[in-house]
Structure 1
Amino acid sequence: MDRLGLDPAEFVATDEDGLPIAGLDPDEVLATPTLAVVGRPNVGKSTLVNRLLGRREAVVQDIPGVTRDRIVYDALWNGRRFKLMDTGGWEPDATGLQGVVAAQAETAMRTADAVMLVVDASVGATTTDEAAARVLRRADVPVMLCATKVDDDRLVSDTASLWRLGLGEPHAVSGLHGRGSGDLLDAMLEILPETPREDFGAGAGGPRRVALVGKPNVGKSSLLNKVAGENRSVVHDVAGTTVDPVDSLVDLDGDIWRFVDTAGLRKRVKMASGMEYYASLRTSSAIEAAEVALVLIDASEPIAEQDQRVLTMVSEAGRALVILFNKWDLVDEDRRHELTRELERDLISVRWAERVNVSALTGRSTARIAPALRRALESWDTRIPTGRLNSWISDLVAAKPPPVRSGKQPKILFATQAQTRPPTFVLFASGFLEPGYRRFIERRLREDFGFAGSPIRLSVRIREKRPRKK
């Protein structure tokens, strides 16, 4: 810019929304051991997990069965990193949805590096607790016993009866007030191995983060289970089965991806309440933390306002985007014609997104998901050299100059790509550029440079008028 005699301090940044543009600084993925927190429903597992994490992560509500999937959180204590896996309530011989939830808890017991059985000290050991203890005594992993809801000294003596479960000393703790949580964390570090039993070896940069988002009951968990080749998420006909984001490492088309299955967005965050409110917040956070979003839309039904709202959230977050039209096995010829019209009408703002027609039930075209993710992320990471960009913008303006405004035609003096993730371009101009002309530039950027599957942000800096010297 110095060669052109341009001083950035002379320009004022403007865009159509007047909002600052933020980038993404991904965290490293560390290979750390995992401790699974298991127990029967409503013993306070999620409350205890939040206490041990030191932050409110797990969704907590005073009704049983809120947590349903295996939810993994990063934790830190005394300088040592590990993972806490919150699970749904485990019950023997459970059926229906609760049976699927119990199966997830059993999978956590088998795959974790250590297990903590949580028992409600105010109730004592129930037959369900005894059944869980029998399973864990046969487990090939370290096991510890936690007596929760010990809110005062009167209940400490009651924990002695839990020795009969055969899992060693019961550690008394209050998840609500934090009593004994420090001693519990110390005991956890003693039984946790230094390294996990399984390591995916994702490489220095870690797996690319993929958020699975969409309205309730659109098939997000079913798709995750299909591509993972096992039941990673609870799937049931009841809409809204997933509450917490479910984080899974998946081997897809030769690469390791970190998939996050999120709760279905039913309402706007401000309108939601209770469990649904916190689930919506976590879904929004999962989108912000992801690099690319897989938005699932039910192809067998008309595109809904919820679908458009989810797409807007992803676009505004600046994440790469792949739209999956799920349940394609239910789409007939008439529905295909209707869907074509809906795409032209309702999804025009994200016409740049990659699209794949899939069926989570049959596995149709799931092999096309990984290539679409790679193309979207490649666009998201693309940078155009400044010289090439300015040569391109000069030819574009010569062929179609900006519209005249207030009797003057603005000039584009210089162009640069400020950052990637998402691709962000800054135009230095002598005057205001109409929104229509900005959209024209964005469209031509896509036509000439690609950017399939990635949003583009375009900012204009206008030269300030200098006061005349007297």
Structure 2
Amino acid sequence: MAHDSQDTGEEYVPSGDDERLAQRLAAITEEEAEARAAALRAGLADYELAPDDSALLDVDADDVESRPYVPAPPVLAIIGRPNVGKSTLVNRIIRAREAVVEDVPGVTRDRVSYPAEWNGRDFTLVDTGGWEADAKGMHKRVAEQAELAVDEADAVVFVLDGLVGATAVDEAIVKMLRRKKKPVLLVANKIDSSAQMSEVYPLWNLGMGEPFPVSALHGTGTGDLLDAALKHLPQTAQHGGMVPLGGPRRVALVGRPNVGKSSLLNKLAGAERVVVDKVAGTTRDPVDELIELGGEEWTFVDTAGIRRRQHMASGSEYYAMLRTQRALERAEVAVILLSVEEPVSEQDVRIVQMALDSGRAVVLAFNKWDLLDDERRYYLEREIERDLAHISWAPRVNISALTGWHKDRLAPALQRSLANWEQRIPTGRLNAFLGELVAAHPHPVRGGKQPRILFGTQPSTRPPTFVLFTTGFLDPGYRRFIIRRLRETFDFSGTPIEVQMRVREKRKRR
């Protein structure tokens, strides 16, 4: 599988006349393209196809466009102080899916939520394990960190070290949980044998109900825990809901803290929103903003955290990642806001990667552009070339959240990205493109063999996903070359593209 945001390796450098390629492609009529595709499709009969290949090949264009959105699955948060085994428990639960979490450097370690499944039910697991606190005021910091996860969750797993018992930090978390009134499952971790059960009984005194003795390391007790958790989880997430096919398009406004998300949302809405809620313990549920922009209504999913209390700032990076991920799940297009005053940061790059991994349409918005001087502009362009080259296809809008300067340019960029996100290339036209491209720029010979593309199809949109049936693996550099030419030929600006390969061998003659 190739995604145009990843893969490293040797770049394929094409040679030949591309102008002639474009002319030849333009000269092919729709009838010729369809006839070519039908012949290539028939040729696949000579190859060993997998059972699900035919369903992929027979996908109807009408089916592609009308895929409904499903409700977001419920959210189970795992909280607890550092070193009680939360990450081990998270890994144990994720492995129950029998799916390996993709280990892309710089991405996986920054994730805070994971898709999980138990007894046929899907849910989202939210982890607070990646966070490190400083020593000062640690119990307060841990409680705040946990609170962020609890606010987003439908049920909570509170993990303690069963051999240590409840500490002052744990007591602080218990106080917070009592205010929240969410279902809580208390876990005594690191209980490896019945001899250690005497350590568990004192945890009844916390008033959080029956403690579950668990060994996350060995897996004992985790099944009973998940069975109990499912009883507390609703069918769908309380913060989720359906993403409608009709109605206003859904926009996630994402970016690291303090880049101007709240200011931009207020400016677009034309009114100041409540920034700080002064009454402790009354954090309101996220509320989506209906905003008129460019003559149409848009739904901005609540991502800026403008209704959060100020004390949440201490867990800001964790909070930003959690909110970004949840917002992207509920949106169709992401506006990634970056501040031009500061260098493009590692956190900016991570948020960009989260948007790409979510498969949503994308627009880059550079805030405070009106304050940019020539020297900073020079260095900013170098930073964009270096750190954001993998998303050079996203429309760029230069704006000022404070004054509203150029905010009218946002709607056309959103419309363009969404149109390309939903674009489907007819099978005939796609195969004509692939045929002409490969004829002009054949795949390099590797070990005496040259893989061929037998047939191409686009089984889905949102984002555009292409499947190539081939006689061998295509080099990552050559796949990136195909993606680049797909973008140039059919205008896929503003959307990620995925290219998958299905390597098929010729049938053996009997």
TM-score bucket (shorter structure)? 0.5 to 0.7
Structure 1 position 435 matched with structure 2 position 483: no
Question: Distance in 2 between the 1:304 and 1:325 partners?
Answer: 13
CA contact under 8 A between 1:314 and 1:321: conserved in structure 2?
yes
CA contact under 8 A between 1:211 and 1:290: conserved in structure 2?
yes
Structure 1 position 304 matched with structure 2 position 304: no
Match of 1:4 in 2: 43
Structure 1 position 450 matched with structure 2 position 491: yes
Match of 2:31 in 1: none
Question: Distance in 2 between the 1:409 and 1:148 partners?
Answer: 62
Question: Distance in 2 between the 1:420 and 1:234 partners?
Answer: 37
Q: Deviation per CA, 1:215-234, whole angstroms, max 9, x where unpaired?
A: 11000011011011012362
Paired residue type of 1:4: G
TM (normalized to structure 1)?
0.56
The one of 275, 281, 294 aligned to 1:234: 275
SS at match of 1:426: strand
TM (normalized to structure 2)?
0.52
Question: Distance in 2 between the 1:290 and 1:408 partners?
Answer: 44
1:327: Cα distance to partner?
1.2
Paired residue type of 1:455: P
1:254: Cα distance to partner?
1.4
Structure 1 position 214 matched with structure 2 position 214: no
Structure 1 position 420 matched with structure 2 position 465: no
Question: Distance in 1 between the 2:489 and 2:45 partners?
Answer: 27
Any stretches of 5+ residues in structure 1 without a counterpart? 14-21, 29-54, 75-146, 150-175, 178-201, 237-241, 265-271
Structure 1 position 287 matched with structure 2 position 328: yes
Match of 1:258 in 2: 299
Using a 3 Å threshold, how does the CA distance of structure 1 residues 256 and 408 change in structure 2: closer, same or farther?
Answer: same
Match of 2:414 in 1: 373
1:2: Cα distance to partner?
4.8
Match of 2:362 in 1: 321
Using a 3 Å threshold, how does the CA distance of structure 1 residues 245 and 405 change in structure 2: closer, same or farther?
Answer: farther
1:3: Cα distance to partner?
2.3
Match of 1:26 in 2: 69
RMSD: 4.2
CA contact under 8 A between 1:222 and 1:360: conserved in structure 2?
yes
Larger RCO: 1 or 2 (CA < 8 Å, sep 6+): 2
Structure 1 position 354 matched with structure 2 position 407: no
CA contact under 8 A between 2:48 and 2:506: conserved in structure 1?
no
SS at match of 2:492: coil
SS at match of 1:3: helix
Paired residue type of 2:389: I
Paired residue type of 2:488: E
1:10: Cα distance to partner?
2.1
Using a 3 Å threshold, how does the CA distance of structure 1 residues 464 and 276 change in structure 2: closer, same or farther?
Answer: same
Q: Deviation per CA, 1:149-186, whole angstroms, max 9, x where unpaired?
A: 8xxxxxxxxxxxxxxxxxxxxxxxxxx99xxxxxxxxx
1:17-56 equivalences in 2 (<5 Å): 25-26=68-69
> How many pairs were matched up?
301
Question: Distance in 2 between the 1:222 and 1:346 partners?
Answer: 25
Using a 3 Å threshold, how does the CA distance of structure 1 residues 468 and 403 change in structure 2: closer, same or farther?
Answer: same
CA contact under 8 A between 1:244 and 1:279: conserved in structure 2?
no
Paired residue type of 2:459: A
Q: How much identity, in percent, do the aligned residues show?
A: 56
Using a 3 Å threshold, how does the CA distance of structure 1 residues 465 and 386 change in structure 2: closer, same or farther?
Answer: closer
Question: Distance in 1 between the 2:284 and 2:378 partners?
Answer: 34
1:444: Cα distance to partner?
0.6
Paired residue type of 1:377: L
Question: Distance in 2 between the 1:359 and 1:207 partners?
Answer: 24
Match of 2:447 in 1: 406
Paired residue type of 1:428: F
Structure 1 position 383 matched with structure 2 position 424: yes
Paired residue type of 1:10: L
1:437: Cα distance to partner?
0.5
CA contact under 8 A between 1:61 and 1:275: conserved in structure 2?
no
1:250: Cα distance to partner?
0.8
